[in-house]
Structure 1
Amino acid sequence: MKRLLPVFILVFSLCYTFNYAQVQLEKTNLPIFSFTLEPGGFLNLETDSPAAYQLRSNGTGKDNTPTDPPVLTGKMGVRYRGKTSFSLSDKKPYSIEFLDAKGEEQDVPILGMPAHSDWALMGPFSDKSLIREALIYRFGQKISPWAPKYRFVDVIVDGQYKGIFMLTERIKRNKVRVNINKIGTKDTTGQKVTGGYIFALDKLDPGDITFRSAFPMPGKTYPPHYRVVYPNEDDLRPAQLQYLKDHVRAFERVMDSPGFDDPKEGYAKWIDVPSFVDFVLLNELSKNVDGYRLSTYFYKDNDAINSKIFAGPIWDFNLAFGNANYCNGQYPVGWGYEFNKSCPQDSWVIHFWWEKLINDPAFRVKMKQRWFQLRKSLLSNGQIMGTIDSLVKVIGPAQDLNFKLYPILNKSVWPNSYVGGSYANEITFLKNWLDDRLIWLDAVMAEIPDRVSNVAFGEVKVYPNPGRESLTFEYRLAGFNETAEIYIVDANGREVYAYSHKFISNGPQILPLDISQYPTGMYFYRVKPGNGAPLTGRFVKQ
């Protein structure tokens, strides 16, 4: 539990002036969650402030007013949360922790969701559909072992209406959330130290316990940090941190090795492949611009239960589904995991092993099989569009007051790629974007081979041979999205050229090569596709 903020200690205060006129909430079709800070308290990012809360909900299909009798009341600690969502949003998100009369954590069931003490109030702001995060959580709940549950609510803070929020389960170890073994402070040796753990690739907050990757991020000189989520900073012991760091680094070393794809000793020994497949598909469906690199969670159970690393739970998709005007996030075509190619200048690029994993032929076969399995059921066009319609229906007329408080439908709010001018247009944009995304994904998934095979590479042509100023390599790729590697050595065995490139289509490939600076003589080449046997040959530089 975060310590409650003594009124005489200033840790951090929010200096922000709202430019919006206050709007009075008189009636809403959503439940009303309100809280009032204790005298002298103020909201900040660092520590919890004590508050009293009330929930008003007359049931599905019935309106609610701030004067209705509350169905739930109590004490809680509350603080602001988020990083980009906090600094660049006028609708600040909150972390809340329900407390008993003594100020201790108290598990509370709320709006039909399982009892827990820790919750988040997520405030969709730049996402003017208000439902992007809810949409992906709906899919995640059906596909993954666990994804956050949520309820849309109208929020009132100290008597002031703050708009539509998602009252959301936070990622916590618990039987009703991430159901892994509870590790105690004394579990520091033997099998006991092996888990469970929750950790993440993410931006960091002060006080976070982290460990660095063994490898720098692609194109960077610094490695990313993994943030330890469970156990928390009060309970995690040095031996547990060391175990988790060693375990993750061992996986990374496997991914960096030539045999990373070995069925027995490669990545399949270290990770739960189906969970990674589903994690990739959810990120690619939404083309989450933060996917794989930020708010990317993993968990590992005790070895006695399962020794593998699982991907997930999913979290933070407000910049997905076309709601990003940078790094190709706005386009419904293109792979999300190829973020580094469009945005190599970003400080948080995607770590190296993601691309190796996703481009492994065996992984891609599983990804294709799972995609088309889901397309027949949970991710069919009808299911997806029906889910959007159901979420819009839940929000209902409450969105009118939200956008009266925040009149942004005609404004570009970072990082909007589209300004619709109306709520209906925002929903239409989301549906159209998803229609186009599904067409593209269906097409590229269909190009993936149905099974892994060592396909004969075929003929490699090099011309003109001999050559003086330049020559051309012409070769054929057997499968979609293969990686071709070309190495050239001189007559003394010294490497003079190395080339690796992933193509987005199969068939003939052309590579022009400038050899004007090569000394005259004989050269030898080796051409190898990612899924085929290498071919060798030679050419002469005149």
Structure 2
Amino acid sequence: MLSDAVSQTHWETAIYTEDTWYYFVGTSAPPTNWNELDFDESSWSSGPGGFGYGDEDDNTTISNTLAVFFRKSFQVDELDEIVAAAIHGDYDDGFVAYINGVEIARSFNMGTPGTTVPYDQTTEGDHEAVMYQGGVPDVYIMDHNDLEGLLQAGENVFAVEVHNVNSTSSDMSSLFFLSFELNASVSYYGTTPDWFFVPTAFTTSHLPIVIVNTNGQDIPNENKITAHMGIIDNGPGETNHLSDPYNHYDGFIGIELRGSSTLWFPKKQFAVETRDNLGENNNVSLFGMPEENDWIFNAPYTDKSLMRNVLIYKMARDAGRYASRSHYFELVLNGDYRGVYVMLEKVKKDNNRVDIATLNPDDVSGDDLTGGYIVKIDKWDGENVGGWYSEPQLENYSGFYYQYHYPKPDDIVPEQQEYIINYIDNFEEVMISENFSDSSSGYASIINWYSFVDFFIMQEITKNVDGYRLSSYLYKDKDSNDGRLVAGPIWDFNLGFGNADYCDGGSTTGWAIDFNLVCPGDSYQIPFWWYLIWSDESFRWSVQQRWHDLRQTMLSNTVVNAVIDSLRDHIGVAADRNFERWPTLGEYVWPNYFIGETYEEEVEYLRDWIMTRMEWMDNELLATYGNTILVPELFSLNPVYPNPFNRSASIRYLLPIDTNIKLDIFNAKGVHIYRLFEGEKHAGIYTLSWDGKNNYGQEVSSGMYIILLEADNLQYNRHHYIETRKVILVK
């Protein structure tokens, strides 16, 4: 009997695709017992697996054919030690797999399971291989009941036939692996490949469950296919069961892959369009978001905190700017659990998204022609791309592309193209003029000033390496609706908050807007006019004032930490399932700057990075610029955050005058532990961190500590200013 054990087990791979197999090119029918153990394979050719026409994923090149048959034997020493088996297959276009002559797996396009497949049968639709482009192969699991009576002690044979979609197909792929789940005490085979996974057991979630069925169709990179989507959402605090009826959405969708560099990740992002029974757009409200039909299934993969986009979009909305609303869910695609996803609103013109005037094809004159428009600065790829190239305007600055986002390239008429190009050209001409910073005739008269200020702050708090230069939106309403140029909405921050190991993306210091200086060789540079705007003292002053205001409210340490805690708690145990499905914890995923061993470490790294980044921005912005300075009205030592803390505590203090200060740490017995600062400080707002170490660089023990701020206060009331705060260190 095969073992029923389900704990203390591990997986090993018995057959790899690159192993040597016996194979037969199907120009005629193979013997009927070709997939059985007693078949004499000596007359067949042999070679490393991966049989095809010589593409990137082929190890053995074969001639054009409708089918190829291949087999390889393997040993089983102890049947009782085997718990389950996994067959991973990456194929183009269809397959049937066997062990000892018994069918064990079949692709959706190869007819009815259990039926014989003629050697010259073509597949019912095509299927593209994915491993050569960074994807993960399909998997088929056999538990101990499935394996009962199938395997035998000693020699066994694994056999596969792969069929093409037609005789003129330009490619064929056939990469297969056989792995076994074994009891912990034994080891018979090799290590599993780096990408190895088995389906995660998934039946319930506290998050909504989204179930998509493509009815056997592959999801393409562009041109959406029709599929079915069901959503189970029993409400806050309720458990959602995979077996529950669809109660939030039950209908058709269009779906396609989405992204640029993220297309190479095995956890795919999707663009989804809700549709009615006739295939037309169907505006619906999902998870309480305003009715629309265009949605994004965002797939956090390189972002192992699972919250970078959600966090910054909330920050932007709390600052009064539109940014995509979001909602977490767990995705099941064609029966395969795909992990934690985020439902996002696609950036588009809508009364509840980018609220600008509708621009119809016949709006070609007067005020109607002046808006609304959405343009995007981005890579020139994807479907339905159109726009224009902005030639370099200043020495040492490269050009870049503006793309039509609304109206779409195939909808915008020539008069509208001419208008928006001329409008942006005029903006750029003003920016390179000598008087660009003039408050009445310069760029300030063209742009929505504070939208640029907030856009700048959101890019900088994240130090987004893609900021300003990629996925960067601008929009303009009709002149009669205040048609100044607006920066935003912000988009795509999975590489922000210290999650990039290139172009200084991991550092908490330095301005993201200096990207062109840090990475001058990158093909996508920040538009020249952002540097000119940042060089304007009036703009810097506005950023300084806005930063000060935001740090007192929605960007205070307390609020930001509370949001991170809330998101972490909301995701909860779904994170465990996500990382069981996508085992990236402790592994480098491009372009990680930090690699945490646990989900908690990833969240704490994000938290510490943000606190340190905001501290750096405090010291840069809440200090002298020109002849202006932000001066608090009173001395203050703010509450420490987080409290209790584990890694680092952030300490913020306000000085209304230039003064000498001392900032010290004492333990509960009054013993001096560490001096954070001693010396003269100008009036201003300051932030320091304590890492839980003493004056000798040694880590101190858990417990309560006292933070003491002392300052000369003769100018105010001739008293020495003293204030204390308590903080608890927990290890």
Greater shift in the superposed pair: 48-57 or 225-234:
225-234
Equivalent residue number for residue 180 of structure 1: 356
- Calculate the aligned-residue CA RMSD, in Å: 2.1
CA contact 1:214–1:252 (8 Å) conserved in 2: no
In the alignment, structure 1 residue 81 sits paired with structure 2 residue 258: yes
Equivalent residue number for residue 434 of structure 2: 258
Equivalent residue number for residue 374 of structure 2: 198
Aligned with 2:204 (options 4, 11, 27):
27
Aligned with 2:299 (options 111, 123, 132):
123
Q: Which amino acid aligns with 1:140?
A: A
Q: Which amino acid aligns with 1:397?
A: V
Q: Which amino acid aligns with 2:507?
A: Y
Equivalent residue number for residue 544 of structure 2: 368
Q: Which amino acid aligns with 1:83?
A: S
The 5 A counterparts of 1:114-263 are 114-204=290-380, 205-215=382-392, 219=396, 223-263=399-439
Aligned with 1:306 (options 476, 482, 485):
482
Q: Residue 271 of structure 2 aligns to a residue in which SS?
A: strand
CA contact 2:544–2:622 (8 Å) conserved in 1: yes
CA contact 1:11–1:46 (8 Å) conserved in 2: no
CA contact 1:294–1:348 (8 Å) conserved in 2: yes
Equivalent residue number for residue 331 of structure 1: 507
Aligned equivalents of 1:27 and 1:340: distance in 2?
A: 48
Aligned equivalents of 1:303 and 1:79: distance in 2?
A: 36
Aligned with 1:393 (options 569, 583, 604):
569
Q: Which amino acid aligns with 2:288?
A: G
Equivalent residue number for residue 593 of structure 2: 417
Equivalent residue number for residue 581 of structure 2: 405
Aligned with 1:15 (options 127, 130, 138):
130
CA contact 2:375–2:405 (8 Å) conserved in 1: yes
Q: Residue 110 of structure 1 aligns to a residue in which SS?
A: coil
CA contact 1:95–1:118 (8 Å) conserved in 2: yes
Aligned with 2:231 (options 41, 47, 55):
55
Aligned equivalents of 1:9 and 1:372: distance in 2?
A: 63
Q: CA deviation at 1:11?
A: 11
Q: Higher Cα Rg: structure 1 or 2? A: 2
Q: Which amino acid aligns with 2:414?
A: P
After superposition, the Cα gap between the structure-2 partners of 1:147 and 1:12, relative to the gap in structure 1 and judged at 3 Å, is farther
The 5 A counterparts of 1:30-45 are 30-39=207-216, 41-45=217-221
After superposition, the Cα gap between the structure-2 partners of 1:294 and 1:226, relative to the gap in structure 1 and judged at 3 Å, is same
Q: Which amino acid aligns with 1:103?
A: G
In the alignment, structure 1 residue 279 sits paired with structure 2 residue 455: yes
Q: Residue 264 of structure 1 aligns to a residue in which SS?
A: coil
CA contact 1:272–1:308 (8 Å) conserved in 2: yes
Aligned equivalents of 1:267 and 1:447: distance in 2?
A: 26
Aligned equivalents of 1:446 and 1:141: distance in 2?
A: 23
Q: CA deviation at 1:53?
A: 0.4
CA contact 2:307–2:567 (8 Å) conserved in 1: yes
Q: CA deviation at 1:452?
A: 6.8
Aligned equivalents of 1:261 and 1:299: distance in 2?
A: 21
With normalisation by structure 1, the TM-score equals 0.79
Q: Which amino acid aligns with 2:468?
A: Y
Q: CA deviation at 1:266?
A: 0.5
Report sequence identity in percent. Answer: 35
Q: CA deviation at 1:69?
A: 1.2
Runs of at least 5 residues in structure 1 that lack an aligned partner in the other structure: 1-6, 454-542
After superposition, the Cα gap between the structure-2 partners of 1:140 and 1:424, relative to the gap in structure 1 and judged at 3 Å, is same
Equivalent residue number for residue 531 of structure 1: none
Equivalent residue number for residue 482 of structure 1: none
Aligned equivalents of 1:184 and 1:451: distance in 2?
A: 49
Runs of at least 5 residues in structure 2 that lack an aligned partner in the other structure: 1-108, 110-122, 137-194, 630-731
Aligned equivalents of 1:14 and 1:297: distance in 2?
A: 34
After superposition, the Cα gap between the structure-2 partners of 1:15 and 1:218, relative to the gap in structure 1 and judged at 3 Å, is farther
Q: CA deviation at 1:135?
A: 0.4
CA contact 2:384–2:410 (8 Å) conserved in 1: no
Aligned equivalents of 1:380 and 1:237: distance in 2?
A: 46
Equivalent residue number for residue 493 of structure 2: 317
Q: CA deviation at 1:218?
A: 6.7
Aligned equivalents of 1:255 and 1:336: distance in 2?
A: 20
Aligned equivalents of 1:280 and 1:367: distance in 2?
A: 8
Higher strand share: 2
Answer 1 or 2: higher relative contact order, Cα 8 Å, separation at least 6. 1
In the alignment, structure 1 residue 442 sits paired with structure 2 residue 557: no
Q: CA deviation at 1:206?
A: 4.0
Q: CA deviation at 1:22?
A: 2.1
Alignment size in residue pairs:
445
Q: CA deviation at 1:215?
A: 2.6
Could you list the structure 1 runs, at least 4 aligned residues long, displaced by more than 3 angstroms after superposition: 7-14, 216-221, 450-453
Q: CA deviation at 1:420?
A: 1.1
Aligned equivalents of 1:232 and 1:396: distance in 2?
A: 39
Aligned equivalents of 2:466 and 2:581: distance in 1?
A: 28
Aligned equivalents of 1:183 and 1:107: distance in 2?
A: 20
Q: Which amino acid aligns with 1:125?
A: Y
CA contact 2:127–2:218 (8 Å) conserved in 1: no
CA contact 1:12–1:46 (8 Å) conserved in 2: no
CA contact 2:226–2:254 (8 Å) conserved in 1: yes
CA contact 1:48–1:77 (8 Å) conserved in 2: yes
Aligned equivalents of 2:127 and 2:360: distance in 1?
A: 32
After superposition, the Cα gap between the structure-2 partners of 1:423 and 1:116, relative to the gap in structure 1 and judged at 3 Å, is same
CA contact 2:393–2:432 (8 Å) conserved in 1: no
CA contact 1:28–1:65 (8 Å) conserved in 2: yes
Aligned equivalents of 2:600 and 2:359: distance in 1?
A: 48
- Deviation string for 1:31-89 (max 9, x for gaps)? 011111135x32111110100100001111222121111112010100000001222x2
After superposition, the Cα gap between the structure-2 partners of 1:155 and 1:216, relative to the gap in structure 1 and judged at 3 Å, is farther
With normalisation by structure 2, the TM-score equals 0.59
